[in-house]
Amino acid sequence: MTKHLTKLFFLFVLSLLMSIPNNVFADGNDVVKVYLYSNDDPYSNVHGKPRMPKRLPVLYLTGHTLKFSVSSCDCHITLISVNDDKIEYEGIVLSGETSHVLPSNLSGTFRIVWGECNDEYYGEIEI
């Protein structure tokens, strides 16, 4: 009986930990989830064999700070103004980093291009 209770307690705690986002900011600022999409077929595979779909990266924005899960490779960020299609910012995120601070002079709505390994993802953010 004790083993079952211990297992249930462990599963309960694990489910609580899994439900808490690891990208929560402790500074009290609003957190905005950045939704990304890919133009590639999520089931594509160079060998033609079926596979699980790609998991899209998840970004969170608060103020001028982007937070994300650790990537296994370097990523690039490009912000393009939606008003004039001009590249306003380009940056590199090294593997192992979990946040990236954007320049404080950026404001407005931008299309974001997030390049991770050999894939590119697209979205829109408002700073």
Select the more confidently predicted residue: 9 or 102: 102
Q: What is the pLDDT of residue 103?
A: 94
pLDDT tier for residue 86 given thresholds of 50, 70 and 90: very high
pLDDT tens readout for residues 17-54: 444 444 444 444 556 677 777 766 656 656 666 666 66
Domain ranges of the chain: 22-126
77 with 90: CB under 8 angstroms? yes
Mean pLDDT of the chain: 76
* CATH class label, 22-126: mainly beta
Burial 100-126 (b: 16+ CB within 10 A, else e): bebeeeeeeebbbbbbbeeebbebebe
Q: What is the pLDDT of residue 91?
A: 94
- How far apart are the C-alpha atoms of 102 and 70, rounded to whole Å? 18
Q: What Cα–Cα distance (Å) separates residue 6 from each residue in 12, 16, 19, 66?
A: 10, 15, 20, 38
Angle at 65 between CA 107 and CA 75, to 5 degrees: 105
Angle at 84 between CA 30 and CA 78, to 5 degrees: 55
pTM of the model: 0.66
